[in-house]
Amino acid sequence: SLLRQVSSLLRRLPAMESEKFQDDFLMEFNDTLLMTYLAM
């Protein structure tokens, strides 16, 4: 049962893999870097 649990855990990776997620993630990434730049 342990091995089954481990295998189902691994099967859940990667946690998120959608195009929309990538867009949102990079958008947030750039916003924060822009803010850092402005602060500088």
Please give the distance of CA 24 from its chain centroid, rounded to a whole number: 9
Residue appearing with tokens 């342990």: 2
* Contact code string over 15-34 relative to other proteins, x by CB under 8 A: xxxx-xx--xx--xx--xx-
Is 7 one of the binding residues for other proteins (CB under 8 A)? no
Q: How many residues bind other proteins (CB under 8 A)?
A: 26
Binding residues (CB under 8 A) for other proteins: these are 1-2, 5-6, 8-18, 20-21, 24-25, 28-29, 32-33, 35-36, 39
